């Protein structure tokens, strides 16, 4: 599977953990997660790893912040800032 994520534009200041909303992306080096806010409980945040499609759920933004070791190395991007293409290759 090929994942191609291109950043169209980065905001000068960048987004902070308080800006995170449904559909945002979290980047750490080559690792990418999609943020999915829980519709039944807005405090729960689901992170979908685009490499493995594993889902990690956290209860608060503070728990999200502690999930990543060094928050200074994390980029938060809105859906308008990225172009995402996922390609699947089926083999028999």
Domain harbouring 31, CATH code: 2.30.30
Among 27, 35, 37, smallest CA distance to 6 is for 27
What letter would DSSP give residue 29? Answer: T
pLDDT at 10 over 80: no
70 inside domain: yes
Mean pLDDT throughout 50-54? 88
Domain count, the chain: 1
Q: What is the pLDDT of residue 6?
A: 74
Q: State if pTM tops 0.85.
A: no
Residue 47 has pLDDT above 90, yes or no: yes
Higher-pLDDT residue of 72 and 35 is: 35
Domain that holds residue 13: 2-85
In a domain, 90, yes or no: no
């Amino acid at each position: 599977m090929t994942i191609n994520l291109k950043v169209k534009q980065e905001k000068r200041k960048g987004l902070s953990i308080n800006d995170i909303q449904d559909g945002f992306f979290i980047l750490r080096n080559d690792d990418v997660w999609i943020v999915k806010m829980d519709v039944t409980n807005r405090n729960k945040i689901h992170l979908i790893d685009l490499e493995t499609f594993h889902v990690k759920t956290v209860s608060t933004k503070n728990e999200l912040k502690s999930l990543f070791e060094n928050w200074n190395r994390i980029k938060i991007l809105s859906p308008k800032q990225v172009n995402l293409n996922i390609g699947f290759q089926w083999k028999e």
